Chain A
């Protein structure tokens, strides 16, 4: 904390000296919001019409910039909204809140061509994809249910091990290398029903941003990406209800002001009902099964005076799979809570303080009929954190600085076996870690063409007691290491400390109005590690802290990009190339014992990774036909001593080509059609060459012992959707104003059995024959109908 104060002091003295050199300039600042519901608009632009000097709003809708004294015409714009022009006469620093109205169907065309969505070219950031919930809604969705993570998977640079798998891989990184934030709180498992749906309820989500490179200094703790999901604040003007009835689950969201234009809330819930159908089954086993998930997302905000605003948000969700009337099965869920305080110190200094709590847990149990014998296993990861973040707007600089402290509590699992009343408890004891970070960054406009963003993040990890340090001998590579000693630490003792400096740098050069070149470099450090030895990560995987045996993961990435808009910004396009190296990656000895094993660190193998690729993206924002095409050419590899004959091998999510085409066409005001086609190179696999026959069992064997040296067949799939928006009913009471929408969708339209994996087995009822089996997650066309309504 002391270091932090020093940093603040240093910074303020530095900025004061800066300020003295300028004269006769005043700051104009405020919030930009949606006129209809009072939601803050993220990334709206506010600028002086003549000099083009201006700023974009931050995630809370706040902007600030300076202009010379005198009269100015200020323009405020946001994609899909009508531009607002305001005349101001600056004689002092001025507060100017702006409300923008959504472009109506008639004015849409005109407005969008009039206002240039130039962010692609003009914004400092690169390797960033933003999706607002309106664009996500237009993508044909699996079972008609719009989903944030599935939409993310269509973007360039994003891969997965296969459909239905949890999580996603960004630019060759593993699934645990994504910092997934829900209103600033990390979400450890972002999936429902394994990976078919994500925990983010689209009715409550406002904005989604995926940062794949040039990660700003205020974010850290994960190597490969930041997925920043922002919830709606809740309608500030009137009561609004959204909902939907779908094939898998139903949704309901209620939002309303509790004090008009001052405070509002939103509560959104979802519940699946697969289990309801199972109850109708004649099969006893299915009848006694449980299979459901639910989640609740809530948020409230209140404006206290004109300089302070408080936000409280939370998420609670759970997936349950049970058999035998719930006696056997497993369940998992996330809980997060965030409190944020926005404070405007002055027209130039903005503070957001965040405190959050996040808890991910899972449980597995088996029990006999009369509950005399049972097996029960529970595990958690719990986080507590505080994060003050300052933004200082100073002429052509935007300085951000702040810090973060996270307390991690790992409860890797305790299993209780009860046998006829006798009890046996095994597992790993709790582990604790503290991650601290301080950062300072500046975005500086050098001249009209060149802008720089540079920053430094200092991160510190302390593995703290109580706990045990395990020491292993070095043995042959690729084999389990044996324990040679342990050392015990008391509560609060620091067991191991790591420090890292993480430089972040981005540059933008505007070639002309329509095109720019950008480059970035970033180093990232990660102190927690997902321990998983299956193809797709499972809800039962555990996280482990950095320790004497597990070094922090480090990544360095350079990226360059060319950004160009065409036809008066109707099309925005970009080409980016990246190269990334990863250090201290983990693999596992064969037959690693990772569950409930205190000495699991002896089963880890340390290695490194590299990933590189080219990403092409073109997006059409306006007109009757909208959509985007993304193409990624990439490679992601790992090198581990003792594996694959000590040679590089491709990761399980390495796909040479990934092409996604997504389009939406508005036929009439009410009917629209959507289509999505995806093509991906088959993922790597390991195929046998020989058979071993042992005690009558035929076992596949690869003579060369090569890993991931062959590919399963390519993946491609077409989806369609048709949306019919109902008539807008109007009346005097809130419930008389409503609109219904039907969404018809077809997933996997040409019924391709895409392979998730190919495996080899002895044929059933044969002692000698073997076969290769293709496992497809979807073996048929999947049609669905969803009815959505809003009041």
Chain B
């Protein structure tokens, strides 16, 4: 929400003044690689994955080196069940037998090169999606993602937020099985402005980066996230989408919940372990719900 406001703030300036952006060459300090954890668990599947890599220099375009040979597992903190992950590709750790339950908390355990890392997350309640509405845009013109072709559709999502404050969500969509939004288009909200209400613009209209055409299959997901994960995604959003212009936020490192619990060891890691309750809805454009 906040970043959207600041984006609007920056807009008239771009129109009115000759402000400009151009790439320049900047030398950056070299730095020590750190363990990077990319892991999320979802309530609607038994297949889960976690990626372990090392960070590289900012301008380095080579693939980040995989961290191999780690011991990875997730513990259900309610009944202490341990779900082990196995390395199916270098650096990719997966399991086929772990379906997280809504309302429970989970702990990630990684043992790698003698260091033990831990991270905790919650899988929270998620509202069901009532319907997806496609509205024909006959004239074309401008849309959220730029100019629009004639006879494409705008997607509006209908869902009622669960009453009681303290819920946070992330939205995403697929178009014919492919992601319908670029990774940097992060749709997250907290229920501060919408507790118990039907989601309103711009929230329910955020998944219109792609143009939807008659016959397309569109699937929308609402992912519940906890307060810390909401903060994590907000920080990413700020650091990648609100860096330009006069009202840019101050650059700072995004948070991590990966903690080193090895006595006498001060190595640090980056990345995040999160969990979501998932609710989905699929519809083919031009056909009934």
Q: Which residues of A contact B (CB under 8 A)?
A: 162, 164-165, 193-196, 274, 278, 283-286, 289, 291, 321, 323, 328-330, 364, 366, 368, 373-375, 415, 417-420, 422, 424, 426, 533-536, 538, 540, 590-591, 595-596, 652, 685-705, 707, 753, 755-762, 768-780, 782
B231 touches A591 (CB 8 A): yes
A692-B197 in contact given A687-B28, A777-B19, A779-B20 (Cβ < 8 Å): no
Are B234 and A780 in touch, CB under 8 angstroms? no
Q: Which of B56, B194, B196, B199 contacts A691 (CB 8 A)?
A: B56
Which residue of chain B has the shortest Cβ distance to A164 in the bound complex?
B246
Given contacts A284-B142, A590-B252, A696-B183, contact A776 B246 (CB under 8 A): no
* B32 in the interface (beta carbon within 8 A): yes
Q: Are A778 and B21 in contact (CB under 8 A)?
A: no
Task: Assess whether A417 is in contact with B197, with CB atoms less than 8 Å apart.
Answer: yes
**A329 to chain B: which residues have CB within 8 Å?**
8
Q: Does the CB pair B33–A194 fall under 8 Å?
A: no
A757 to chain B, nearest CB (A): 6
Known: A534-B249, A538-B9. A689 touches B30 (CB 8 A): yes
The interface residues of chain B lying within 8 Å CB-to-CB of A685 are 251
Taken together as a complex, chains A and B put the C-alpha atoms of A595 and B26 apart, in Å, by: 34
B249 touches A774 (CB 8 A): no
CB pair A774 B30 closer than 8 Å: no
Beta-carbon nearest neighbor of A368 in chain B: B201
Q: Is B255's CB under 8 angstroms from A700's CB?
A: no
Instruction: Tell me, in angstroms, the Cα distance from A37 to B16 when the chains sit together.
Output: 39
For this complex, 6 residue pairs linking A to B, each with C-beta atoms less than 8 Å apart, are: A417-B200, A596-B192, A689-B28, A702-B253, A770-B59, A782-B18
What does the 1/0 interface line of B58-84 toward A look like (CB < 8 Å)?
A: 111111100000000000000000000
A-B pairs, top 5 by smallest CB distance, nearest first, are A779-B20, A689-B31, A703-B31, A759-B243, A696-B183
What 4 additional pairs, Cβ within 8 angstroms, besides A323-B11, A685-B251, A697-B236?
A533-B250, A591-B255, A703-B31, A778-B18
Contacts of B5 in A (CB 8 A): 330, 364, 540
Interface centre among B56, B244, B253 (most CB of A within 10 A): B253
In angstroms, Cα B49 to Cα A28, docked, is: 90
* A375, A533, A697, A779: the one within 8 Å of B240 (CB): A697
> Which residues from 1 to 56 on chain B have a C-beta closer than 8 Å to any C-beta of chain A?
1-2, 5-6, 8-9, 11-13, 15-26, 28-34, 36, 38, 40, 53, 55-56
- Asked if B184 lies at the interface with its beta carbon under 8 angstroms from chain A, I say yes
Complex-state Cα separation, A686 to B252, whole angstroms: 8
Mask: chain B, 175-206; 1 = CB below 8 Å from A; 0 = not: 00000000110000000111111111110000
Count residues on chain B whose CB falls below 8 Å from chain A CBs. Answer: 80
B264 within 8 A of A: no
| Closest partner residue, chain B, to A687 (CB atom) | B28
B55 touches A774 (CB 8 A): no
A289 to chain B: closest CB distance in Å?
A: 7
Which residues of the other chain, A, contact B63 by a CB distance below 8 angstroms? 768
B250-A686 in contact (CB<8A): yes
Q: Does B277 interact with chain A (Cβ within 8 Å)?
A: no
Q: In the bound complex, do residue B243 and residue A291 qualify as a contact, i.e. CB atoms below 8 Å apart?
A: no
User: Are A699's CB and B236's CB within 8 A?
Assistant: yes
Decide if B18 touches A289 in the complex (CB within 8 Å).
no
B19 in complex: contacting residue of A274, A424, A535, A776, CB < 8 Å: A776
CB of B248 within 8 Å of the partner chain = yes
Complex contact B193–A424 (CB within 8 A): yes
Question: Are B197 and A652 in contact, with the CB atoms below 8 A?
Answer: no
A291 proximity list for chain B (CB < 8 A): 12, 15-16
Give the CA-CA distance A755 to B240 in the complex, in Å.
19
Chain A residues closer than 8 Å to B249, beta-carbon distance: 533-535
- Whether B95 sits at the interface, judged by CB under 8 Å, is no
Q: Check B270–A773 contact: CB distance below 8 A.
A: no
Contact for B247 among A538, A691, A695, A700, CB less than 8 A: A538
Inter-chain contacts of B26 with A (CB < 8 A): 687, 758, 772
Q: Please determine whether B184 and A652 come into contact, CB atoms closer than 8 angstroms.
A: no
- Knowing A373-B201, A699-B239, A758-B24, the reply to whether A768 touches B61 (Cβ < 8 A) is yes
Whether A693 lies near B243 (C-beta < 8 A) is no
B29 touches A689 (CB 8 A): yes
Would you give the shortest CB distance from B241 to chain A, in whole angstroms?
A: 9
Is B130 an interface residue when CB atoms closer than 8 A count as contact? no
The answer to whether residues A695 and B30 also contact, given A538-B9, A538-B247, A779-B18 and a CB cut-off of 8 A, is no
Q: A693–B36 contact, CB under 8 A?
A: yes
Residue of A699, A757, A758, A759 most packed against chain B (CB within 10 A): A699
Residues of B within 8 A of A426 (CB): 192-193
B272 contacts the other chain (CB 8 A)? yes
Q: Which residues of B are found within 8 Å of A374, using beta-carbon distances? A: 200
Tell me the residues in window 252-275 of chain B with beta carbons closer than 8 Å to chain A beta carbons. 252-255, 270-272
**A591–B250 touching, CB < 8 Å:** no
Is the Cβ of B56 less than 8 Å from the Cβ of A690? yes
Distance A191 CA – B59 CA, assembled complex (angstroms): 39
Residues B13 and A591 in contact, CB atoms below 8 Å apart: no
A364 to B25, CA, bound (A): 38
Task: Considering the complex, give the chain A residue whose CB is closest to the CB of B186.
Answer: A697
Residue of A nearest to B256 (CB): A692
- The reply to whether B235 and A775 form a contact with Cβ atoms under 8 Å apart is no
List chain A residues, Cβ under 8 A from B201: 366, 368, 373, 375
A contact residues around B17 at 8 Å (CB): 164, 196, 777-778
B162 interfacial by beta-carbon distance below 8 Å: no
Residues of A within 8 A of B8 (CB): 321, 323, 328-330
Which B residues lie within 8 Å of A540 (CB)? 5, 9
Instruction: Please pick, from A162, A415, A759, A772, the residue contacting B193 in the complex, using a CB distance under 8 A.
Output: A415
Bound CA span A693–B184, Å: 12
Cα–Cα, bound, A538→B245 (Å): 11
Min C-beta distance of B201 to chain A, whole Å: 5
Closest to B26 in A: A772
Contact A688 B28 (CB under 8 A): yes
Tell me, rounded to whole Å, the shortest Cβ–Cβ distance linking A325 to chain B: 14
Cα separation A556 to B24 with both chains bound (whole Å): 41
User: Which of B2, B40, B272 is the most central at the interface, judged by chain A CB atoms within 10 Å of its CB?
Assistant: B2
**A760:B194 contact, CB within 8 angstroms:** no
| B93–chain A nearest beta-carbon distance, Å | 16
* CB <8 Å contact, B202 and A366: yes
Task: Given A274-B16, A417-B200, answer yes or no on A691-B231 (Cβ-Cβ < 8 Å).
Answer: no
B57 close to chain A: CB less than 8 A:
yes
Whether A694 lies near B272 (C-beta < 8 A) is yes
Docked complex Cα distance between A456 and B266 (Å)? 52
Residue numbers in B under 8 Å from A698 (CB-CB): 240
Measured in the bound complex, the distance between the Cα atoms of B250 and A307 in whole Å is 55
Give A422 to B200 CA distance when docked, in angstroms: 11
B residues 137-190 with Cβ under 8 Å of A?
Answer: 141-142, 183-184
Chain B min CB distance to A751 (Å): 10
Cα-based distance from A289 to B29 in the complex (angstroms):
44
A698 to B63, CA, bound (A): 12
Asked if B279 is an interface residue, CB under 8 A from chain A, the answer is no
Residue of A nearest to B201 (CB): A368
A771 CB contacts on chain B under 8 angstroms:
23
CB of B159 to closest CB in A, whole Å: 11
Q: Does B208 contact A (CB under 8 A)?
A: no
B53 touches A700 (CB 8 A): no
B273 to chain A minimum Cβ distance, whole angstroms, is: 11
Give B77 Cβ to nearest chain A Cβ, in Å: 20
